[in-house]
Amino acid sequence: MALGHMPGSDSASDKAARPGPLSRRQKAAIIVRLLASEGLKLPLTELSDDQQTELTETVAQLRLVDRDTVVSVVEEFCGELEAVGLAFPGGLEGALSLLDGQLSPSASNRLRRLALGSSRGDPWQRIAGLSAEVLLPVLEGESVEVGAVMLSKLSVAKSAELLGLLPGEKARRIAYAVSLTGNVAPETVLRIGQALAAQLDAAPPKAFDSGPVERVGAILNYSASATRDAVLKGLEEEDKTFADEVKKAIFTFANIPARIDARDIPKVLRVVDQAQLTVALAGATGSLKPSAEFILTNMSQRMAQSLRDEMANLGKVKEKDAEEAMSAVVAAIREMEAAGEIFLVAEDED
């Protein structure tokens, strides 16, 4: 392309020197060149290989562009940006990322298989979005060479996390194999990615969001103490290891002294309903008495005395009412834990 108007040049030659209408590809090349000259890092890798090739060839073909043309292209570009009301991600993979967590597992898997079957889909984009927990079994089951390609395509942080989860010997072999991946053809890397993505998508979706230990523990948390004790006794007879894991997952009123930091009791008191707390404390007898005393000891003396007076006025509390009140206190504590306001101490911690 020609330079802009120069002093002393006649209008005829100037008119001949000006470029004709630019194609959209040429305009895109001008914008890319302009932004790159400002030091901006452009996400060109998100374009397809063909688009990247065409853009690079167009940049190579351009020479000098006059200032008026640059200004005109920039104004047109800004105008189109301002006219955009909503942008959608390109391709099925982008749409799946946008709708992550909103689709049923079966629909998500079916769409991912469609995306994988498309020649335009990038399987590594799908793989990179998965957690290390999901990727680890696949990495463990693959050869060292495939593992090296896999780690080379993932982010440094995720690769380091996966490497740390592998047995020492295999981790060392894969780390060395990474140094040999420089000559692997892009087509081979693509096929490996497609095979891994197909393997990951072929795994059946989980029917439950949590494991059996967490599910049984959650159920027993809200069960009556007599039912809970009977179930735990039966579990110990059938599978002591499973029963021990369930016990760790359970948090009841009786676990308060062992699993709540004394400094967190004032936080709990601000959340728990005063009337329910009074009933729970008044009904805490026998093995539950230490929990009531733990709560009363870790509050102000004035508040503790006020609660003791209210407990005395209640007299004998029905077992059912006490159970319901204790469950309400435990539920409030669980909600605080889920919100990160307090942390429960593991029973086996010192």
Mind giving me the DSSP string for 231-275? HHHHHHHH-HHHHHHHHHH---GGGHHHHS-GGGHHHHHHHS-HH
Class of domain 251-350 as given by CATH:
mainly alpha
CB atoms within 10 A of CB 287: 10
134-141: Cβ within 8 A, 24+ apart: 134/200, 135/162, 135/200, 136/162, 136/165, 136/166, 138/196, 138/199, 138/200, 139/166, 140/166, 140/170
Whether residue 2 has pLDDT greater than 70: no
pLDDT 10s digits, 179-237: 888 888 888 998 898 888 888 876 665 655 667 888 888 888 777 778 888 898 999 99
Beta-sheet strands, E only, within the chain: none
For residues 17 and 161, give the distance between their C-alpha atoms in angstroms, rounded to a whole number: 58
Q: How far apart are the first and last CA of the chain?
A: 76
For residues 301 and 284, give the distance between their C-alpha atoms in angstroms, rounded to a whole number: 20
Any idea where the domains of the chain sit in the sequence? 11-83, 92-202, 208-249, 251-350
In CATH terms, the fold of domain 92-202 is Annexin V; domain 1 (1.10.220)
Q: What is the dihedral of CA 286, 298, 246, 221, to 10 degrees?
A: 70
For residues 160 and 174, give the distance between their C-alpha atoms in angstroms, rounded to a whole number: 12
Could you tell me what percent of the chain has a pLDDT over 90?
Answer: 31
pLDDT at 11: 44
Grade residue 77 by pLDDT with cuts at 50, 70 and 90: confident
Tokens of 222: 């809200």
Grade residue 64 by pLDDT with cuts at 50, 70 and 90: confident
Asked if the domains 92-202 and 251-350 are classified in one and the same CATH topology, the answer is yes
pLDDT at 250: 83
pLDDT at 16: 37
Whether residue 96 has pLDDT greater than 90: no
CB atoms within 10 A of CB 83: 7
For residues 83 and 78, give the distance between their C-alpha atoms in angstroms, rounded to a whole number: 9
**Helices 132-141 and 186-202: crossing angle, nearest 10°?**
110
Grade residue 279 by pLDDT with cuts at 50, 70 and 90: very high
Q: What is the mean pLDDT of the chain?
A: 81
Grade residue 267 by pLDDT with cuts at 50, 70 and 90: very high
38: which DSSP letter? T
pLDDT 10s digits, 107-127: 656 666 555 555 456 788 878
Q: Which residue has the higher pLDDT, 105 or 236?
A: 236
Lowest mean pLDDT among 35-44, 208-217, 302-311: 208-217
Lowest mean pLDDT among 38-52, 244-258, 318-332: 38-52
Grade residue 13 by pLDDT with cuts at 50, 70 and 90: very low
Q: How many Cα atoms are found within 13 Å in the side-chain-facing hemisphere of 314?
A: 21
For residues 1 and 293, give the distance between their C-alpha atoms in angstroms, rounded to a whole number: 87
Of 22-26, 86-90, 119-123, 244-248, highest mean pLDDT: 22-26
pLDDT at 43: 81
Instruction: Determine the 3-state secondary structure of 180 from DSSP.
Output: coil
pTM: 0.41
Whether residue 22 has pLDDT greater than 70: yes
CB contact at 8 A, 13 and 7: no
Lowest mean pLDDT among 106-115, 158-167, 209-218, 238-247: 106-115
Q: What is the dihedral of CA 177, 182, 186, 187, to 10 degrees?
A: -50
Of 101-105, 204-208, 236-240, highest mean pLDDT: 236-240
pLDDT at 350: 43
223: which DSSP letter? S
pLDDT at 17: 43
Q: Which residue has the higher pLDDT, 108 or 34?
A: 34
For residues 287 and 252, give the distance between their C-alpha atoms in angstroms, rounded to a whole number: 12
